[in-house]
Amino acid sequence: MATPLVALDSVSKEFGKIRAVDDVTLDIREDEVTAVIGPNGAGKTTLFNLITGRYGLTDGRIELRGNRIDGLEPQEIVQQGLARSFQITNFFPDLTALENIRLAAQAQRSDLSPSALLRHHDNEPGPRDAAMDVLKRLDLLDIAREPASSLAHGQQRHLEIGIALACDPDILVMDEPTAGMSPDETVETRELVEDLAEDITIVIVEHDMDVVMRVADRLAVMENGSLLTAGPPETVKKDERVQQAYLGGETA
């Protein structure tokens, strides 16, 4: 079988006495959408934070294209090609949508000093063109010059996805991209994920089961920190343990 893009091998994370992630072994395959699901407190967000480098592992290892990434700083992991978009707002509210994405694109360039990053480079074509391409893909071109703080919630969440895309990632890891969205915004976000999945490997932590079932090629089901099962949605849906643990109950 082909080498997975990301391989989690016996990954665990303890917070004091709580084992939030317990011995999870999971392959993320290239060009697929893998959705991590499970009841509240199952360990999904902790797993997201382990993959993206926010938390160090208690045990195990994580590899990206065969190279170990656990122990790296989050920004170093981004530079290896794994970008993340958060549940929380993660942009500069006073800067425009274009400036936010341009800064992220510029930050990818190791030849720019921090002070150069903070200067305005509106005439510098590379990052500006890259940022405009991202805004176009997100259908946000018409608000390119609006301050991020003035955008609707759904647009702000898409802007965050844009900031992650500006890093030109091979893999995008998203934590609840539809959280707090209206039904219309949820549909737009689902369509955006489907569009992005055409050329980016995606890992999505998501509560909305309608979104999950439509976008995912594979489901990874967590319960009490452990991986209950992983596989194609149709197979996982029929798994009795999954029905008991999650799908039979409230869809959180």
Q: What's the min distance (Å) between Cβ of 120 and ligand ATP? A: 37
Q: Least Å distance between CB 48 and ligand ATP?
A: 8
| DSSP-based three-state secondary structure for 163 | helix
Q: Which of 16, 114 has the CB closer to ligand ATP?
A: 16
51-58: long-range contacts at Cβ-Cβ below 8 A with a sequence spacing of 24 or more? Answer: 51/6, 51/8, 51/82, 51/173, 51/203, 52/77, 52/82, 52/84, 52/173, 53/77, 55/13, 57/11, 57/12, 57/13, 58/12, 58/13, 58/14
Q: How far is the CB of 248 from ligand ATP (least distance, A)?
A: 17
User: For ligand ATP, which is the closer residue by CB, 43 or 127?
Assistant: 43
Query: Among residues 70 and 170, whose Cβ is nearest to ligand ATP?
Result: 70
- The answer to whether the beta carbons of residues 49 and 203 sit under 8 Å apart is no
Residue type, 230: A
Strands in 171-175's sheet, in edge-to-edge order, are 82-85, 171-175, 201-205, 33-37, 218-223, 226-231
Segment (H or E) for 219: strand 218-223
Q: How far is the CB of 18 from ligand ATP (least distance, A)?
A: 5
Nearer to ligand ATP, 46 or 96 (CB): 46
Q: CA-to-CA distance for 119 and 148, rounded, in angstroms?
A: 18
Based on CB atoms, which residue is closest to ligand ATP, 34 or 45? 45
Name the residue nearer to ligand ATP (CB basis): 39 or 169.
39
CB 155, min distance to ligand ATP, A? 23
Smallest distance, Å, CB 21 to ligand ATP?
A: 7
Pick the closest to residue 86 from 189, 177, 152 (CA basis). 177
Taking the complex as a whole, the smallest distance from the CB of residue 179 to ligand ATP amounts, in Å, to: 9
Q: Which residues bind ligand ATP (CB under 6 A)?
A: 15, 18, 20, 38, 40-46
Residues 6+ apart with CB under 8 A from 242: 221, 228, 229, 236
Residue 12 near residue 57, CB atoms below 8 Å: yes
CB 230 within 8 A of CB 32: no
Q: Which is nearer to ligand ATP, 103 or 220 (CB)?
A: 220
